[in-house]
Structure 1
Amino acid sequence: MGFTPEELQAARDRLVPDVAASGLRVLFCGINPGLLSAATGHHFARPGNRFWPVLHASGFTPRLLKPAEQEELLAHGVGITNVVARATAKADELTAEELREGGRLLEEKVARLRPGWLAVAGVTAYRVAFGDKRAAVGPQERTLGATRIWVLPNPSGLNAHWTPAAMAEEYGRLREAAFAEHS
């Protein structure tokens, strides 16, 4: 994945296509793609990001998937989208307005795809996007139609106060809820 700084900057504002289909059990939702994700076209592509290891450790996938294998998620009943489609170097480059508009567009996407759960990875982004200042990690009272919402810790390596083990436990709670309903 040897991209030059110039190649990464050229990926700024590029879109990373959703990995999604109708009727998924869980639609994971990142804040927005990073530059490496935009350059590769793969979600959560930065090597320090803990999404893929946590997804495996929590039981969503039978083995550790690489970002380039993201389409395999669909066979496991899960997919990936973002609150904001635009790629940036850091999530804090997004404006509150972009996050709120992303939340509105996400509601439309969820209405179309009807996943069992929308799992937003990042409590701060969720609070802004959905205007819920008191939201905490875990299942939310709010629903989008029949779709329930679960706020997860952001898997970025910058989110150091969540250990991989604690994150896997929280993601595992979601997996148990999502798959128990359909068994």
Structure 2
Amino acid sequence: MRAARTLAVTATALAAIGLAAPLAAATNSGGNDNSGGNNQSGGNGNFGGNGNSGGPRDVTISPAAVHQGSTLTITVRGCTRGGTVTSNAFPQTNLSVNANGISTAIARIFDQATPGNYNLAVRCNDNPNVATRQFTVLEARGAMGGIGGSLAPSSTEMAVGGSLVAAAALGGGLFIVRRRRMSSGAA
């Protein structure tokens, strides 16, 4: 009888683990943190004349407000041969260009940066024009929180959660039925 009980508990545990695996595979653990999106801090992002001169344009900063010691992602169009991003809040950072002609840089804010508003300047290697944007440094470390727990669970999470509850109920029911049979057979 103990073997049957052990088998029922083991089967329930394995079912719970098996049903949790799709959730782990479906969860996207990188990148999408909803912590500010691609915010532009003012203007239409076009600098250097009409935008056809090859200078930096469409500069976006993500997130627009960042804590000391965190990273800031800068995306630029128009710097087809790379360039640099400078600010008092982080060391000079080089732009890298992808196949679509979009340049990006990831800058780490100084740990001791004074909280407040800062400007950054983007300059392409092949053009003297400079584009500027403003961002905010917040006190303390870590990324600025996004919408966090205000979102409802996804349909995948609901399905996995419901399956886990059903597996636990099934295992508990089997345990109770087995126990009742053992009790009534001994009397």
User: What TM-score does the superposition give when structure 1 sets the normalisation length?
Assistant: 0.25
Larger radius of gyration: 2
Q: Which has the higher helix share?
A: 1
**TM-score, length of structure 2 as denominator length:** 0.24
Q: Which structure is higher in strand share? A: 2
